[in-house]
A and B are shown apart, each in its own frame.
Chain A
Amino acid sequence: QSALTQPPSASGSLGQSVTLSCTGTSSDLGGYKYVSWFQQLPGKAPKLIIYDGTQRPSGVPDRFSGSKSGNTASLTVSGLRAEDEADYYCSSYAGSNVFLLFGGGTKLTVL
């Protein structure tokens, strides 16, 4: 099964907002609530920032918010800061056969 689809790059200015998209199918992202977003800084492990499509783990700033509509999930980063510059990956549970899919990642540049 194919990976989820993410735009390879995105950018936004300091203090502004940017929304990243993640598109799947009804067999994966559209069929389950288990959509996650991860932030990965260079040379570091991924960090969970959104789960169940909209929930933030403890300690994640409320500048990060998630949503889902149909087969597309979105991550919005508000009040962009320099430290938000990173790679962002989405993932979705995809049923017991495929199990878990990741998107190809979006590199976010803060201008």
Chain B
Amino acid sequence: EVQLVESGGGLVQPGGALTLSCAVSGFTFSTYAMYWVRQAPGKGLEYVSAISSNGGTTYYADSVKDRLSISRDNPNNVLHLQMGSLRPEDTAVYFCARGLKLGTLDFWGQGTLVTVSS
């Protein structure tokens, strides 16, 4: 069974940093691209970042470029999102998702809430 479990969310002050993790199981992690997608409270889905299966290529939405960094640990089946210079508008539930093919997210975790507030 494919499983994705996010962790690392919490309350952080503006300008602060946080690292999210996504532990996966039930599939060969190293053969799939992975994504982070966020959803602000009461709002829609927003693409954040993506990484190729071997970690060699990364993509970012303009809204987070230069502040967030996606990475992956293939031997340990974990996806990471390092978040810095956080702003109140980064407050959201952050989902990790598996990339079936280009731009196609077929399995999602349950999400982890990041709240940026003083």
Interface residues of A, Cβ cutoff 8 Å to B: 3, 32, 34, 36, 38, 40, 44-48, 51-52, 57, 89, 91-94, 96, 99-105
A89-B45, A96-B59 given as contacts; is B111 within 8 A of A45 (CB)?
Answer: yes
CA distance A4 to B111 in the complex (A): 23
In contact, B50 and A100 (Cβ under 8 angstroms): yes
Closest to B4 in A: A45
In contact, A34 and B102 (Cβ under 8 angstroms): yes
Q: Any chain A CB within 8 A of the CB of B82?
A: no
In contact, A100 and B103 (Cβ under 8 angstroms): yes
Q: Any chain A CB within 8 A of the CB of B35?
A: yes
CA distance A81 to B58 in the complex (A): 40
Inter-chain pairs besides A102-B37, A105-B44, 7 sampled, C-beta below 8 Å: A32-B102, A34-B101, A45-B108, A89-B44, A93-B102, A100-B50, A104-B44
Residues of chain A with a CB closer than 8 A to B25's CB: none
From B45, B59, B104, B109, A51 is in contact (CB under 8 Å) with B104
Interface residues on B, range: 20 to 34
Which B residues between 66 and 118 are near A, CB-CB below 8 angstroms? 95, 100-111
From B35, B95, B106, A100 is in contact (CB under 8 Å) with B35
Residues of chain B with a CB closer than 8 A to A34's CB: 101-104
In contact, A102 and B45 (Cβ under 8 angstroms): yes
In contact, A52 and B104 (Cβ under 8 angstroms): yes
From A3, A51, A100, A103, B100 is in contact (CB under 8 Å) with A51
Nearest-Cβ distance from residue A28 to partner chain B, whole angstroms: 10
Closest to A33 in B: B102
In contact, A45 and B44 (Cβ under 8 angstroms): no
Some 28 contacts from A to B, beta carbons below 8 A apart, are A34-B101, A34-B102, A34-B103, A36-B103, A38-B45, A40-B45, A45-B108, A45-B109, A46-B95, A46-B105, A46-B108, A47-B108, A48-B104, A51-B100, A51-B101, A51-B104, A51-B106, A89-B44, A91-B47, A91-B103, A92-B103, A93-B102, A93-B103, A94-B103, A99-B47, A99-B103, A102-B45, A102-B47
